[in-house]
Amino acid sequence: MLKKNTVLLFLGLILLIQLFYSRVIFSDSAEDWQLGFQDPATPIMEGIINLHHDFMFFICGISIFVSWILARTLWHYHWTKNEHPSAMVHGTAIEIIWTITPSITLLAIAVPSFALLYSMDEIIAPAITIKTVGHQWYWSYEYSDYTNADDSTILFESYMIPEEDLTLGQLRLLEVDNPMVIPVNTHVRLIITAADVLHSWAVPSLGIKCDAVPGRLNQSSLFVKREGLFYGQCSEICGVNHGFMPIVVEAVSLPNYISWVANKLSE
């Protein structure tokens, strides 16, 4: 009887966990008083979050140890407890320890850091190339892989929707009239530049932040694992309306992306 109740309890727990995760709403835009990361949608952002958590292990351990050493030093070496100060000025053993230990810690941190850094720069056989151009104060996108009968590519501009034109549920200062549309589970290459001044194309949930420099082409990649709307903003001060040129990336299924491309080419 006890074994049967245990099995039923275990099955009920699994059901509750599945029910919870089926109702999870991913945070793909900033929230009020948010301190943590937004929910990741790319392997790169997952790696950034995991690396942050790994670093926090070292940071917390080092902070606790150093605080304990300082408190112990202030307590035991106060003049009221040591009227006759020590004459020792060197300690070979402790100096070797406090040199080697931080070096080993830095090596342990450097290995995953470099692995993530190189993976962020890697471009893996992109299926789609999108040119992103920053302007004062809007973005434009060009899909040069597709042309219509007139040999014209898909090219459109993306402006922020004014606050008075927002509908219920839309986000202030983050919505645009024409989002960048990409398919999920597809390697996408981004060519990022600017037409006037410095800009920066940044979307936190996608783990990307790339400077847009006039006269220079910067390259980055995306591999979005789930459908959704992902919000970002220009992250380089670019003038009076710097805060009014948001970025919206819409990740859709491959059939829906093909339909979107066909509609754009027929316009």
Render pLDDT for 219-253 as a digit per residue (tens, 0 to 9). 999 999 999 899 999 999 988 999 899 999 999 99
CATH topology of domain 128-266: Immunoglobulin-like (2.60.40)
Q: What does the H/E/C string look like for the chain? A: CHHHHHHHHHHHHHHHHHHHHHCCCCCCCCCCCCCCCCCCCCHHHHHHHHHHHHHHHHHHHHHHHHHHHHHHHHHHCCCCCCCCCCCCCCCHHHHHHHHHHHHHHHHHHHHHHHHHHHHHHCCCCCCEEEEEEEECCEEEEEEEEEECCCCCEEEEEECECCHHHCCCCCCCCCCECCCEEEECCCCEEEEEEECCCCEEEEEHHHCEEEEECECCCEEEEECCCCCEEEEEEECCCCCCCHHHCEEEEEEECHHHHHHHHHHHHHC
Inform me whether the pLDDT recorded for 21 exceeds 50.
no
pLDDT tens-digit readout, 146-184: 888 788 888 999 999 999 888 888 888 999 999 999 999
The pLDDT assigned to 4 comes to 57
Report the alpha-carbon distance of residue 218 to residue 195 in Å, rounded: 13
Write out the two tokens for 12: 């009920």
Looking at residue 22, its pLDDT comes to: 45
Whether pLDDT at 1 is above 60? no
pTM: 0.78
Q: Indicate the domain borders of the chain.
A: 38-65+97-122, 128-266
Distance CA 77, CA 262 (A): 77
- Two structure tokens written together for 70: 């300082």
